[in-house]
Structure 1
Amino acid sequence: MTLHRSSGEWRLGLVLALITVLLWGVLPIPLKVVLQAADVYTVTWFRFLLSFGLLTVYLGIRQQLPSWQTLRSLRLDLLTIATVSLAVNYLFFLKGLNATSPSNAQVIIQLAPVLMGMGGLFVFKERYHLRQWLGLSVLAFGMTLFFNDQLQVLAGASAAYLLGSFWLLLAAIVWAAYALAQKQLLQQLSSPGIMWLIYGGSALLFTPLAAPTALFNLTGFQWTMLIFSAFNTLLAYGAFAEALDRWDASRVSAVLSLTPIITMGAVFMISGLFPAMLTADAMTWLGLMGAMLVVSGSASIALGK
């Protein structure tokens, strides 16, 4: 089997990865708001369905919808793995987020890009040089310090909180499977075409479990957050897929490690402006030092030659 090779446009890949980080970093906040009034199955179904509809219109206008001949030539095993894995990731992430907090969710889900990065090294035979291995060491140490506060929370958490964290751990594992399968699918189809198939398949999977009438109970603000989360899905995964096409998976994964820093910053800002909506998790000076090391280590991996 011929393995996918990135196009080498690393600067564009870096920009796309940073866009993904920003979008994923703020995503848990609107989702937490929506989950106050709707179940995880319906929210997940709506996000996939709206993303599928918007992408259908976009690809249709540009006359880029995959042809039947292209679809017949696809690796159905990889497409199935990518679709089911992303669908399960969405479900488990929401279940975990609903039982814990946005900051905790982003901390645990960071196992996902780590696994994707390891997959890039071992599956796609990508290579790190000395500077990047040093950057990985700094990144790992920084994440240990950064996550120290959250690990202390887990140590004294309730059973429901621990179960939510377990769902997040599973979400991270299946997401890595999705990401690696999608990267290989780029050999046969463009990233928008792949996401169109994945969104449509995932929406179909959740249709029997969704309760669309529950959405009528949402307030105007909750509807705004739900629609934002759907657009976030479309834009973030579009940017992520394009980043994978242009850059090594191991380097994209290093940039994604910045996501929880964006989340905690956004939570801190919103909790200050709207304290009734969210409560920011406390962070010690060790956590702040870890955040700086995560940024420097990530930059070393992403930009190292």
Structure 2
Amino acid sequence: MIHQTSGRWRLGLGLSLVTVFLWGILPLALAVTLQVLDVYTVIWFRFFGSFLLLAIYLAVQNKLPNLGQLSSTSWQLLVIATIFLAANYFLFMQGLALTTPANAEVIIQLAPVLLSFGGLVLFRERYTQWQWLGVGVLTLGFVLFFHAQLANLITAPDKYLLGSGLLVLGAGAWAIYALAQKQLLQYLSSEGIMLIIYGGCTLLFTPLAQFKTLLNLDILHSSMLIFCSLNTLIAYGAFAESLEHWQASRVSAVLAIAPIITLIAGWLTSAIVPGLIAPENITFIGIIGAILVVIGSVNIALAKAN
């Protein structure tokens, strides 16, 4: 059996937009934290903080998952989702450390594309002709929007290319996690699934974290780290719940807008706090591409099904 959505597409759309905004600004906050912390410690703190806050919330609401009722299939899916989400976090953070926030957000957009096609194949979702047209517009928009970044990859040093390769692997790992997450909704609530996954990922990264470095953070970097953890909790909670109400292929189309949020947030941050992060440049052709990305995403997400 495969998971079926609730049909409340407006709620799914709203939750997807929350996820897009939070994931759009996340690379900037992560870039700041990586100035003083290693990758493993940042990842551990994000998972641990999310696990702790969600566990408290579910305990107060008396909604903690009953692990004794899970089948072997459920456990297998949970293990897959946990391992591949942990791999995504590690690969994305390493790629971000070796490249730039904009480049990381560009390449990681392979993830929702892979999720979209996975939804078409595994969950028997279908695109209409108008939606396939939206895919074409979205693709053209990305080519124009990220022309400068794609050109940089050709002449980039080995370190930059390695980071970009890790981001591609991270995108594939995330798509596998997301497809497993959607199927798990047959057995558990979205909150229960994320609680177990957060706990599992926390255990995976605990041996690698450098806890002493957390004691030496200043106010700026402490605030950024706490924000990253809250971002993880809220964004992934909204994403997991959106899959309950809307098709994976349509959710993924909305997520494609995230890089535009990253660039806008980067411009604003550079203007308000000069020197905190390097500003990103975009040409007129890139602006046209951004418009096409939005048009294509909206067309895929909101076009009526047959």
CA distance in 2, matches of 1:251, 1:271: 33
Q: Which amino acid aligns with 1:145?
A: L
Unaligned regions of 5+ residues in structure 1, if any? none
CA distance in 1, matches of 2:142, 2:23: 18
- The residue that corresponds to 1:283 in the other structure is 282
Could you tell which deviates more after superposition, 289-298 or 213-222?
213-222
- The residue that corresponds to 2:101 in the other structure is 102
Structure 1 residue 240 displacement after superposition: 0.1
Contact 2:101 2:262 (C-alpha < 8 Å) held by counterparts? yes
CA distance in 1, matches of 2:70, 2:140: 44
Matching of residue 232 in structure 1 with residue 231 in structure 2: yes
CA distance in 2, matches of 1:160, 1:73: 42
Matching of residue 25 in structure 1 with residue 19 in structure 2: no
- The residue that corresponds to 2:10 in the other structure is 11
- The residue that corresponds to 2:69 in the other structure is 70
- The residue that corresponds to 1:176 in the other structure is 175
- The residue that corresponds to 1:85 in the other structure is 84
Show CA shifts across 1:109-163 (max 9, x none).
0000000000000110001111111111111111111121111121221111111
Q: Which amino acid aligns with 2:171?
A: A
CA distance in 2, matches of 1:159, 1:216: 34
TM-score, normalization by structure 1 = 0.98
CA distance in 2, matches of 1:74, 1:216: 41
Show CA shifts across 1:152-183 (max 9, x none).
12122111111111111111010000000000
Contact 1:46 1:230 (C-alpha < 8 Å) held by counterparts? yes
Matching of residue 44 in structure 1 with residue 43 in structure 2: yes
- The residue that corresponds to 2:250 in the other structure is 251
Structure 1 residue 74 displacement after superposition: 5.5
Unaligned regions of 5+ residues in structure 2, if any? none
Show CA shifts across 1:6-31 (max 9, x none).
11100000000000000000001111
- The residue that corresponds to 2:138 in the other structure is 139
CA distance in 2, matches of 1:252, 1:171: 19
- Moved >3 Å (runs of 4+): 71-74
- The residue that corresponds to 1:301 in the other structure is 300
- The residue that corresponds to 1:197 in the other structure is 196
Contact 1:37 1:217 (C-alpha < 8 Å) held by counterparts? no
Give SS of 1:75's match: helix
Contact 1:74 1:188 (C-alpha < 8 Å) held by counterparts? no
Show CA shifts across 1:69-126 (max 9, x none).
3345652111111000001111111111111111000000000000000000011000
CA distance in 2, matches of 1:104, 1:73: 39
* Matched-pair identity in %: 56
CA distance in 2, matches of 1:236, 1:4: 21
Count of residue pairs the alignment pairs up = 304
CA distance in 2, matches of 1:67, 1:162: 45
Give SS of 2:202's match: helix
Give SS of 2:40's match: helix
Give SS of 1:27's match: helix
Could you tell which deviates more after superposition, 57-66 or 129-138?
129-138
Contact 1:111 1:172 (C-alpha < 8 Å) held by counterparts? yes
Q: Which amino acid aligns with 1:304?
A: A
TM-score, normalization by structure 2 = 0.98
- The residue that corresponds to 1:220 in the other structure is 219
CA distance in 1, matches of 2:217, 2:276: 16
CA distance in 1, matches of 2:266, 2:256: 17
CA distance in 2, matches of 1:60, 1:304: 40
- The residue that corresponds to 1:159 in the other structure is 158
Q: Which amino acid aligns with 2:50?
A: S
